[in-house]
Structure 1
Amino acid sequence: MRAEAEMKSFREALKVNELYDVGCVGSVFTWSNGHFDLSFTKERLDRYVVNNEWRNMFKDFMVEGLVTRCSDHKPMLMTVLQSESLRRKRKFIFRFEASWLKEEDCGKIVEKIWSERKQTQEPLMQAQKLLKLCSGYLTRSFRDRDKV
């Protein structure tokens, strides 16, 4: 068992960061001592915690407790589902073609886009935006060449 002071610090960290447990479907117990007698114990040790900002970005999700055969800990799986409106929006899936690497323009396009980036507070969102720009430029630049 953890010392009470450590658990208090952990609970405080959850509170300060506004994180809360999103629950679980299926087997909620994630650990077992594996005993087959009266000392058998199951506990829910593992959890997914999120904040409201994350919850607003990913409204439709599910956390499942899975089955294990060779460990005292059961795995948990979070599945983020897309809403119908997001599925309809995403018509184009970018696939990088290895043959583009032979094109002189390929490296130049990528370098140009990434060199024009600006520092932001959200580096992950910035990277996503730059990748999207690259995919658009690369696809348009080489679309006709790939049809030949």
Structure 2
Amino acid sequence: MVMFREALETNELFDMGYVGDCFTWSNGHDDHTFTKERLDRYVANKEWRGRFHLVKVEGLVAKSSDHKPILMMARNERYRETRRRFLFKFKASWLRQEDCEMVVKKVWERKQLTLEPIKQQNLLQRCSGELTKDFKKRDRERGGNIELLSK
């Protein structure tokens, strides 16, 4: 353990912190010897931390192990700002367009049958892209204020 601590110090690594139940391991005993500890951690140095300003480490639920899995999510702020600019909003006026239903059906008919959530999300992204491309230009040409239904 002394050598491990020296390695952390030599490489200027520090604990990234933790959100949620602070214990990542349990011996699973049902008696007075029951023990819980935080054994699993993410560590980083100042250089890495300087690149990723938005970091969150959280514990997940352990299903078949005495160690809880931990998840780290990290983003730099520039990525976060870029993502905000492209937030999709469905406009109620699009429902009045004759081809709105056709645009949505066209995207969903091209889908491959899958139960994977990530592929379903891609379908939603494609659908939002098609609707935005087809109808946003029309809305701008009309110049009216449009009621928004958030995503």
TM-score category of the 2 structures, normalised to the smaller one? 0.5 to 0.7
Cα 1:34–1:18 shift into 2, 3 Å: same
Q: Is the 8 A contact 2:18 2:57 kept in 1?
A: yes
Pairing partner for 1:55 from 45, 49, 55: 49
| Higher RCO structure, 1 or 2 (CA under 8 Å, sep 6+) | 2
Residue from 86, 92, 95 that aligns with 2:79: 86
1:70 corresponds to which residue?
64
- For 1:25 and 1:53, the matched residues in 2 are separated by 22
User: 1:53, 1:65 → 2: CA distance?
Assistant: 25
- After superposition, the Cα gap between the structure-2 partners of 1:23 and 1:88, relative to the gap in structure 1 and judged at 3 Å, is closer
RMSD (CA atoms)? 1.8
Which TM-score applies when normalising by structure 2? 0.51
Residue of structure 1 in register with 2:110 after alignment: none
Q: Percent identity?
A: 60
**Structure 2 CA distance for aligned equivalents of residues 59 and 25 of structure 1:** 16
Which amino acid letter does the alignment assign opposite residue 65 of structure 2?
S
Q: Which runs of structure 2 are paired with 1:127-142 in the superposition (5 Å)? A: none
Shift of residue 89, structure 1, vs aligned partner:
4.6
Work out whether residues 19 and 59 of structure 2, in 8 Å CA contact, stay in contact via their aligned partners in 1.
Answer: yes
- What count of residue pairs does the alignment treat as equivalent? 84
How far apart, in 1, do the equivalents of 2:80 and 2:39 lie? 35
- Structure 2, unpaired ranges of 5+: 86-151
